[in-house]
Structure 1
């Protein structure tokens, strides 16, 4: 029986070693999975940060060009206002004189279609005369 019990003991020890090896393999597999997961998360974070940086750069380029455009429009508007004010100041006196001359230089005359009526005669315009 001792040989049987020794054989059983050897089998139990072999089974225990196999069980220990399986547990170690499971632990290593768990560690590898955990490490792979951490590496994947780090890679995802790196990729996300890179894409966000590219997005911000593109956004700044677009918004910067719009800011440039609005600054250019404001500058053009200011230049136009300056030109109009300058033109106004330069031509103001001459336009006032022209308007006053036209207003004061009135030559009253009767319109040709005006009819004059007297007792015996009816005048239609300068050339037409009915008796």
Structure 2
């Protein structure tokens, strides 16, 4: 009977060692998963930073281009405004003379469609 209880004790010890090995394997697996997750997070963060840098560069390029366009539009607007003011200054006297001539030199005459309704 002692050999049977000894065999049972050995089986229990073997089962205990197996449970410890399984527990250790689970712990190693959990550590590996945690490490893989941390590495993945690092890669994700690195990729995000890289994409953010690229976006910032593209944004600076686009805004720089817009800045150039807006300065060109402003320059063209100033140039057009100067042309209009110059034209106004040149033609102002002639236009005023013509208007005054039309207003002051009125010829009294009947309209061509007027019909005299007399006896």
TM-score, normalized by length of structure 2?
0.69
C-alpha distance in structure 1 between counterparts of 2:96 and 2:2, whole Å: 133
Considering Cα pairs closer than 8 Å and 6+ residues apart, tell me whether 1 or 2 has the greater RCO.
1
SS at match of 2:74: helix
In structure 1, stretches of 5+ residues that fail to align are 1-7, 117-122
Q: Which residue of 1 aligns with 2:106?
A: 110
TM-score, normalized by length of structure 1?
0.64
| The structure with more strand, counted as a fraction of residues | 1
How many residues matched?
113
Residue correspondence of structure 1 range 5-24 to structure 2 within 5 A:
8-24=1-17
C-alpha distance in structure 2 between counterparts of 1:100 and 1:73, whole Å: 42
Larger radius of gyration: 1
Q: Which residue of 1 aligns with 2:110?
A: 124
C-alpha distance in structure 2 between counterparts of 1:97 and 1:20, whole Å: 114
